[in-house]
Chain A
Amino acid sequence: MRRSQLYLLALGLLIALIVSSCAPAAPAAPAPAEGGAAPAAAQPAAAAPAEAATTLVYATDTSDLISLDPAVVYEFTGVLIAENIYDTLVKFEGDNLSELKPSLAEHWEIAADGDMWKITFHLDPDARFASGNPVTAADVVYSFSRVLDLNKSPAFLLADIPQLKKENMTAVDERTVELKIPNTASPQALLSILTFSVGGIVEKAVVEQHVEGDDLGSTWLRDHSAGSAPYVLERWEPEQQVVLTANPNYWGPAPKLSQIIIRHIAESSNQQFALESGDIDVARNLTPEQVEALSNNPDITIYRANTLLLIYVGMNVKQEPLDKPQVREAIRWAIDYKAIVDNLLRGGAKVHQTIIPEGLFGAVDNNPFQKDVEKAKALLAEAGVPDGFSIEMLIPTGPAPGGTDWSNIAAAIQSDLAAVGIQVTIKQTTQAELLNIYRAQSGQLVLILWGPDFPDPDGNVGPFTDYSQRVIAFRNNWDNPELAARARAAALEADPTKRSALYAELIETVLHEGPYAVLYQPGVVFGLRKNVQGLLWNPMGTIEFANVSK
C-alpha cells in the first residue's frame, strides 16, 4: 500500500538528513593537539579556520543579560560587554584598581569650588566614535544625563553616591567637561564610578536618531552600540551569543582579534567539553572538580584571578543574644575558616575577615580569627550564655561564589557552632526571599555575599558601617553613628597615607565590634586554550578583550 511507502520514504529522508548534516563534522574535526583553531562541527571546512584564528570564543552563563545600554546594564555579562563597546572618561588598566588612567579624558583636575568639588575633564582630541565623529563634551553630558533621566539600576551610582545632578554637568567647550558634586561626596569615588559601564559615553547624534517616545534610545541601545571603544556590537542572539567585531574607526591601537563571541553555555560540563574540543577558547564557569581534571590537559591553561566579593554571616543585633558583642565575637572564634576554604572551596577562595577585600585601596591582611573552641566558650560564658543557645541561619539556594554550594558552607558553620553549644537551624530559601527577610531586618544569622558597587573602599565601608545608607549595617540593625561619621571622613580624605590609616582603624573596629563574621574572598577560575594570551580579569568583572590575542 502507498502509505507504507510514504513511511519508508520519510524514514529514509530523516536518516539521510541526519547523516548529511553530520558528515562534514567528522573530517573537519582535528585532533585536540592542533590547538584552538579547531573548526566547529558542521561548519564548511574552508571557512572556519581563518575565522576561528582571529576570533575569541568566550563561554559563560549569559542568562543575566537584559540590555547592553550603558545606562541600563548592571549585570555581570552586560557590564563585561558594555565596557568593551563603550569608552569611559577614565579607566583602570588590566587588573590594577589603584591607579586611574586616562581614557577619553587626557587629563583631569579636582578643585574645591565653594561648597562643591569641581572636576574638570579634558577630552582627548583624537577620540572618535565608531561612526568616525569626534567625541565631544556634549556627548559626555548627554550620556550622564541619560543615566539620570532613565533612572535604571546603575543610576544610583551617579545620582546617590556622588550626588551628581543634571544642572551640575557642563560642556564648557567642545573638549572640556565640568562636573560638580557636593563637598560631602568623594571625588575619588566619582572617578572610580566613571571607570564603570555606567560611565560609558554614547554618541548623542546616533542615539537621538533612535529615540522612541520617552525611552531616550534605550530600546535601540539594548542590542545596538553607539560607542568609541575597540569593539562594536555586531548582534545579540538571545540566550545564544553576543558577537562583537573590531571597530574599524577605533582611535587607539587596533585590537588584536577581529571578533569576540560571548557564547551562552550555562552548563559547566558543556563548557568543559567545548573547551577540550577547542570549540571555545575561554570557559568562565568551571567547577573545582573540572579545574582539577583540566589542569592535566596540555592544551589548556588554568587562570586564577581575584574578585572583590566577600562571603559573610550577618548577625542581627536586635536578636538576642546577638546583641551582646561577646556572643558575636564567640561566633567569629568558633568558625573554622581554613577548613571551609581548604576542604570545601579547594583553592577557589582565600580566608579574608575584614570588610575591605584584597585588591581595593585600604585592604589589609588582618585575619585574626581561627577556630578556638575554648576561647569561644569563654566568651559565651562572659556574655551570660555559657550553655549556648539556639538560632536560625538563613542561606540562599544554589552555588556560592568560590565553587561549592551555600548549603555546604552552612553545614560547616553549623557543626562549628554546635561545638561551642550554639544550635543552628539552617533555613534555605531562594536568594530573593532571603533578601526580603534580610532587608526587613528580620533575619537572625544570614549567610550571604557582598560586592562593592564601585572599586573604592567606600563601596564597602559605607554599606557595612553606615545604618543610614539602609544597606548592610541597616539589615543587621547595627546603628553606630560615630563609626558612620568616621567612615564618611575616610571616604573624603584626599591624602592617601592618612586615608589608609583611617581605613585601617575602621576595619579593626568593625572586625571585633561589628555584626559580621566575614568568611572568605572567592576567586574566579578560567580555563583557557593554551594559545590565548593577554587575558586579564579585572576584579570589577571585566576583561579588556582588545588586549587578548591567540
Chain B
Amino acid sequence: MHMADALISPAVGGTMWLASAGLTSYASRKIDVPSNGRLIPLMGVSGAFVFAAQMINFGIPATGSSGHLGGGLLLAVLLGPYPALVVMASILTVQALVFADGGLLALGCNIFNLGVLPCLVAYPLLLRPLLGTNTAWPRLFAGCLVAALVGVELGAFGVVLQTAVSGRAALPFDTFLLLMLPIHLAIAVVEGLATAAILAFIWHARPELRPGSSQAASDAGSVRPVALGLLVVALIVGGCLSWFASTHPDGLEWSIERAVGSAELPATGPVHGSLARLQDRTAVLPDYDLPSSGESSAETSDGSWPAVSPGGTVSGIVGSLCVLVLAAALGWVSRVANRRREQP
C-alpha cells in the first residue's frame, strides 16, 4: 500500500508531508523519556522487529497466497499510540531510503496512511475500547480484525484519494476505489490475524505484558488531543465544507428518478403515511435545514455552488455533535458492561 513519488503531485505530497511531520513531531514530544527511559531502546528494537517480521510470510488458507504483518496495530498495543507512530515513521523512512519502497515525496502520504491511521485512529478508537483488559482470544481476534479492517481500509481510501487529487493516474476515483477496497479487505484480514496471533502468543507466554498490567498502563498514551482534533475536523466538515457538496442528486435518487420520473417515491398506504407523519413531527432539521425557513434549501436554492446556508451549517454541526454523543454513549455503555463482567 506504499504510495510512490510517480503517482503524486507536489501539492498533495507537500500537504501530507506537513500533516505527517506535524503529527510525528507531536507524538515525538509526547513520549516521556525521562520517566520511561526503557522506552527508547524498546522503540528501537520494536521497529527492527517489525522490519524483520514483515519479511516472514504465512500461508493464507484456501487461497494459495501468503501475507505478512504490517505492524502499526501491534506496535500501538505494545508501546502505546504515540511511540508506535514514531516507530512506524522511522520504519517507513528507512523503507523509503534503503529499499526505495514508497518515495521520498510520498513519505508523508505513507506515514499518514500506514502510521497515523492505525496508531492514532484504529488502535485508540477501536482496538483499545474493544479489548479493554479482557484478553480472551475470541475477543482479541475480533478486536484485531475490526481495528485492522478499519485501519487498512482507511489507508487504502487515503491512497485512492491522494492519487486522484494528484491527477497523475487517469483511473477514475470510483473505479480505483472499487479496485482498492476489496484487495485491501484481504490485506486487512491478514493484518488482523497476524496481530492477534502474535499478541495471543506473547500474552500467553508473558502475562505481565497484557493490558491492565502496571507496565502496559504506564505506556498507554492519552487520546484526548486526537479526539479533540477529530471533533474540530468533524465540525469544520459538517459546518462549512457541506456548502461545497454537490447539488446533484445522489446515486440512489438519480436511479429512482430515471426509473419512476421523480427523485422521491410517493408514500402509499396507511403504514407509509403514518411513518411519514411521525418523521415530520420528529425531524428537528428537515432536509438538513432549519424548520423556520419553510421550504428546504434544496427546493429554494437556485443551483448556485457553493450553497452557503446558515441552516446547512447548523444542521452539519448539530448532526456531528449528535453522532459524537451517540458514539460516546455507546462507548460508555460498553465500558460499564466490561467493568461489570470483570468484577468477580
Please determine whether chains A and B interact with each other in the same assembly.
no
Interface residues of B (CB under 8 A from A): none
